[in-house]
Chain A
């Protein structure tokens, strides 16, 4: 297959061997080349992906979503909620008003959770960085698992009929009629919004990307091959749950985490274990839980976290076996 990123590799090679004059066979060359290539590739993919998704997102508003999902039961609507969740990330402080807005529109609790689980899990920036580092196949696996996880997790929560664990006040709030009109945007306006999305997200994550790639690069150049196979290989059954456990409190650094995972995979960390770790970093984040605590009783939060964590562990094992 033709490598569309070949020009970036060419630039990385030129810079490493000619501009910096590092001998190609050294550890330093391996690290530097890896860092330049990865940073370039990540920023290219990041910009393209965020632009595309931000553009698409101008068509999807919470009001429309409420209308589509209101009062609908059944697996199909879990899937739709999950799919909407993949393209519409919300900043964590919007999760509470969104949650109330959904419940008020009669969206079943389980369907709301399908949205809430997938939305942070599959976000365009994480997908772009993943694509740049682990390749298209791992990215597709990640996105599909994220959607399946959202559908399954939300379905379980709906199945268990946990409505009583939602704080009473949520059911009493009435959502007002007024909301900003964003319906009739021109192509130019949509493109502008998409461009602002790129500026905003790249502006926030670039530092994590560079730090992550640098750590990954050093690892790539200097750590011996196969070092992780011994401790965290497929035959170590504790590795997956352990990866999920350390993944939970790490939310803000996920953009930096991914390039580090890339180099760890290069050194023998199984893909399933790595994906489980990344999923736990994005899906079950501590700050998010603290915010949801305002509308959910602790029992429901505990069930939510357990269902998601267990499904992630299962997904990790599954990919370790399959890949």
Chain B
């Protein structure tokens, strides 16, 4: 599984990454977590408000930090 976090690097993007890593550690699921800061790549996903989360090429959420329940749904 590949999880991409789209965002130019504000506090919310960092929080999103931490939340995802926490859930991965708790559930023991393996996933490649990548931070995407390139604007062009972000826009290619049709995302205009960050942070956004892309799981295996599919945009799951944009514009807010996901809560743990949401993240669990994606990784399981």
Contact = CB atoms under 8 A, between A and B. Distances in A.
Contacts, number: 79
Nearest to A179: B46
Contact of B48 (A94, A177, A193): A94
A113 B46 CA distance: 21
B71 interface: no
Interface string B29-73: 000000000011011111111101000001111111101000000
Most chain A CB within a 10 A radius of its CB, from B13, B40, B52: B40
Nearest to A105: B48
Contacts of B13: 93
Nearest to B12: A91
Contacts of B52: 180
Contacts of A62: 48-49
Interface in A67-123: 90-94, 96-98, 100-101, 104
A98 to B, nearest CB: 5
B51 to A, nearest CB: 8
A97 B52 CA distance: 12
Contacts of B25: none
B10 A196 contact: no
A97 B43 contact: yes
Contacts of B64: 193, 196, 200
A97 B48 contact: yes
Contacts of A200: 64-65
Nearest to A177: B46
A101 B44 contact: no
A93 B64 CA distance: 12
A321 interface: no
Given A62-B49, A93-B7, A173 B60 contact: no
Contacts of A179: 45-48, 59, 62
B71 to A, nearest CB: 14
A100 B69 CA distance: 32
Nearest to B52: A180
Contacts of B43: 97, 100-101, 104, 173-176
A43 B8 CA distance: 31
Interface string A145-158: 00000000000000
A147 to B, nearest CB: 22
A14 interface: no
Contacts of B44: 174-176
Contact of B49 (A97, A104, A174, A176): A97
Given A96-B8, A178-B59, A291-B8, A90 B40 contact: no
A62 B43 CA distance: 12
B8 A180 contact: no
Contact of B50 (A91, A176, A182, A196): A91
B49 to A, nearest CB: 5
Interface of A: 62-63, 66, 90-94, 96-98, 100-101, 104, 173-180, 182, 193, 196, 200, 291, 294
10 contacts: A62-B48, A93-B10, A93-B50, A96-B39, A173-B43, A174-B43, A179-B47, A179-B48, A180-B61, A193-B64
- Nearest 9 pairs of A and B residues by beta carbon: A179-B46, A93-B10, A62-B48, A101-B48, A176-B46, A176-B44, A93-B8, A178-B46, A94-B49
